[in-house]
Chains A and B, each alone.
Chain A
């Protein structure tokens, strides 16, 4: 690598052969840390900005080997299973090695841009053949402006591959503009339009998010932009929000397609493993049926929005 890319940040997964996140065969680099707190988040391990230990109670046989292995005495075996005292844990990983059932995992490892690019470059041929490349996801990639910039610039200038980011668009305008030149495909979430509701549910207002989307749509017409609505029944599939999203999309200067992603429960178990709370309200939500998704698609189309499936 020519560019000095020593900048480091926490990466919690690098997933190869990804085919649902931008064109072609891609590698997704997940950066840790997110300003939003969506209650349905399927990657809660990506929310904090620091590494986090996960313990899978389902696999656990309660053998107690981790208890003995932990140098900080941060693990104890109680009636209902393993407890980790997270304030005492220094993420040394002794439990990860000791465990025979592979219950433990530390999410988030400091990686330099150089290191990540080297790994991404390994699948170069697959990108070239399929028109794929690098997708940076999170967490929120824009929450790491310097790192993201170097990563994307490296991918473009050094590797010459296609780049994409999966973002909530929750970031300062200047951050967005700084990286935009190095991004080919923007995959932006659009969840709630009403700012009060957004603040209440996601923990952040919606103005800046919508503004950023508008910037991309209006000022970067050469960039591919896809909006994605995670459909969370009871949270954002009400007629008001649907109408507001449709109105917003129609108000953009070019036709931006929308993809509907049905809520799924794959993230649920992770909360327990991380000792994080999966709120009782979201716990009650069931994945929307195919008919419901089709109905919503129809509603959007009636409202003049182009719905796509990738």
Chain B
């Protein structure tokens, strides 16, 4: 039976969008492999493990799918990666099915199996190793949640864009020849001969794993074809089999083969390690030659091209990851950040929007699932028609694409030392992180610093008063957490307070530096990313693993939680204590330490909310503190170097970390009571921006985004009537031109109304496919925890 494009999408969609489950096969296979390879060098050991996993894990082909390659035994089955940690899995897995957000069904048999498998890993994981070496100051900062790194303590790197063009052009056989040439040319007396030799051996074994994986799909497709009665489907399966015999080992020859190759390169890293944000890069660029060739030869029309794109999108939607409970709090929503970047400029600065850019938006309209995410590079030469199409898509409530401003981003990459040509070839990762495609180990999302807590410590001479243990608040502890930075009662001006704050930030950035650099070393030692190293430029040339500085560009980029809570608090002290003398520092501290208790405490709190300027209203008095906070964070990272030979660059986003970090942060002078949410990413504090979106943009434009090559996340919520006719669409497009003028690094739109969300909270069954942006990526609303739902409902609605 010939399926129409829509019929095919619907058929596959039903198989893809199912409840999430746990898959234990990977855990079993990796454990078996490790038992067999004791004593082997890490790169080889990892390659052997990957061979075993890719060779024996369950594989399937969705009915109607034209592309193959899966992560787990079924769609949205989460894998277990015991090489990174065993303890959180062991203690938390039985709650995965019932925890507030991010649920995974797990059977009693799976629990029993994992309990047994995890025994092997005690003392052998990344986290065990980290615990054994991290100094007490780092452990304490982690425990009290001033810093965190749920990501790299329990996962691999992720946060990269494979060099798709290279694999498409050369295939892994080509890569193998390259490695063999390198090996032949090695100077066997050189000091690094051993390291390189071991690395290359591992890489060759890894290529074997890839070869096995593709061959298994060819066989499965042939077998399925033989059992299929429908002649059309039989033909499709035969083609799938031929594709898998060809790619990814040999160069892709046409559009379909190219997409199959892309998907293999995209899915294997998800199995190798559990890194987030393995991204698709500039797909409208590297896929274009194949599209064009097939179209010119009249082998392909746009309907077929779109159908195959739909199939790729549906494959991305099968990927999911199981976060720990801590991770689930920070990365709420099952986003895994597979982002496609569209439009932008070439190395000469010319616009590169093409027919595929348009089709990539159409595919999202067809598929309407959370994955993949789409980023659009907005620049002065972007075709108006394309920008309009993207705006219409966003305004229709698709929550995609997110928009990036080329001008400021290219500048930010150049500021980070990247040459212009490479800077122009950037792609986006899962949130706002920007990297050079195919050449970068970004260290993105490498830890998180809570700026609001740094501020609180600056108000208490480094002493922590507030503690949240995961269940209850303890407002009365007394712990010297940060350095002594002076009793604020003795501060004579704002300068003193800013200095104290800055010193606290520097102390905790140092703790992060210790943590991240240790983790970098441990990852290289225990879990070199052997497949990543095949697909990122620089690793084979240098004979170094991706985790060990093999990539051309290497950064470490921690996040920031509550920057605006910190800056609004600074602005509040400036106005209330130093300028207008509404209250003395002594009274303010008393109110804070009692969590604004009593009549007078509450009165003061109201005054701090209503009579003090807040970020997001285009008011310099508040905005200059935000400018200070971001620049200070940037400066605090200067001088650090990571073990990969790269620099530290800050990024100002925290996904949904403002909820969890909020619990851990005591009361703040912006009028926020202890334990409440912090501000969302770089957005104004919820409900405190009262002048509409243009003012928020103006406030944000004062922050120098060119200091932040990994950007900030700016969520802007609009009511659904924002674009109800052609005229309003034009206005929305022009709004995006203005954002470009103002150098707004990143923006994404949530188009919705509060009532819809409330209803979804009360009747989740009715809103299963309600797609919501949670800080930088999409999530299904009904899958979020209640407090994150509350937060979204609470965020100011910019109605028109």
Contact = CB atoms under 8 A, between A and B. Distances in A.
Interface of A: 15-20, 24-25, 96-100, 122-123, 125-126, 129-132, 309-310
A131 B737 CA distance: 12
Nearest to B741: A125
B610 A97 contact: yes
Given A96-B610, A122-B698, A123-B698, A16 B691 contact: yes
Interface string B607-636: 100110000001000000000000000000
Interface of B: 602-603, 606-607, 610-611, 618, 691-695, 698, 722, 725, 727-728, 730-731, 734-735, 737-738, 741-742, 798, 800
B37 to A, nearest CB: 61
A176 B370 CA distance: 55
Contact of B694 (A99, A100, A123, A131): A123
Main SS at interface, chain B? helix
Nearest to B605: A100
A130 B391 CA distance: 14
Nearest to A100: B606
Contact of B734 (A15, A24, A96): A24
Contacts of A96: 610
Given A98-B603, A126-B734, 6 more contacts: A16-B691, A97-B611, A122-B695, A129-B741, A130-B731, A310-B727
A129 B734 contact: yes
A43 to B, nearest CB: 16
Contacts of A132: 731
B734 A130 contact: yes
B201 to A, nearest CB: 58
Nearest to A132: B731
Nearest to B698: A122
A17 B798 contact: yes
A96 B610 CA distance: 9
Nearest to B798: A17
Contacts of A98: 603, 606
B800 A18 contact: yes
A65 B46 CA distance: 67
A125 B742 contact: yes
Nearest to A24: B731
A15 B692 contact: yes
A129 B738 contact: yes
**What 10 A-B pairs are tightest by C-beta distance, nearest first?**
A130-B734, A17-B692, A129-B734, A16-B692, A129-B737, A129-B738, A123-B694, A17-B694, A16-B694, A19-B731
A132 B692 CA distance: 16
Contacts of B800: 17-20
Contacts of B611: 97
A130 B730 contact: yes
B698 A100 contact: no
B606 A122 contact: no
Contacts of B741: 125, 129
Contacts of A125: 738, 741-742
A308 B437 CA distance: 48
B731 A25 contact: yes
Contacts of A16: 691-695
B22 to A, nearest CB: 46
Nearest to A23: B727
A17 B721 CA distance: 13
Most central of B610, B691, B730, B737 by chain A CB within 10 Å: B691
Contacts of A20: 800
A290 B332 CA distance: 41
B171 to A, nearest CB: 47
A275 B618 CA distance: 34
Nearest to B722: A19
B798 to A, nearest CB: 7
A94 to B, nearest CB: 11
A135 to B, nearest CB: 13
A100 B730 CA distance: 40
A308 to B, nearest CB: 10
Contacts of B694: 16-17, 25, 122-123, 126
Most central of A18, A96, A129 by chain B CB within 10 Å: A129
Contacts of A131: 734
B738 A100 contact: no
Contacts of B727: 310
B602 to A, nearest CB: 7
Nearest to A18: B800
A24 B722 CA distance: 13
A125 B602 CA distance: 40
A24 B733 CA distance: 11
Nearest to A96: B610
A16 to B, nearest CB: 4
Contacts of A25: 694, 731, 734-735
Most central of A15, A24, A126 by chain B CB within 10 Å: A126
A122 B702 CA distance: 13
A125 B798 CA distance: 19
Nearest to B701: A125
Contacts of A310: 727
Contacts of A122: 618, 694-695, 698
A126 B744 CA distance: 14
B618 to A, nearest CB: 5
A96 B609 CA distance: 12
A61 B638 CA distance: 51
B610 A17 contact: no
Most central of A17, A122, A129 by chain B CB within 10 Å: A17
B377 to A, nearest CB: 18
A96 B734 CA distance: 37
Contacts of B734: 24-25, 126, 129-131
A261 to B, nearest CB: 14
Nearest to A69: B603
B698 A130 contact: no
A5 B78 CA distance: 66
A68 to B, nearest CB: 9
A295 to B, nearest CB: 20
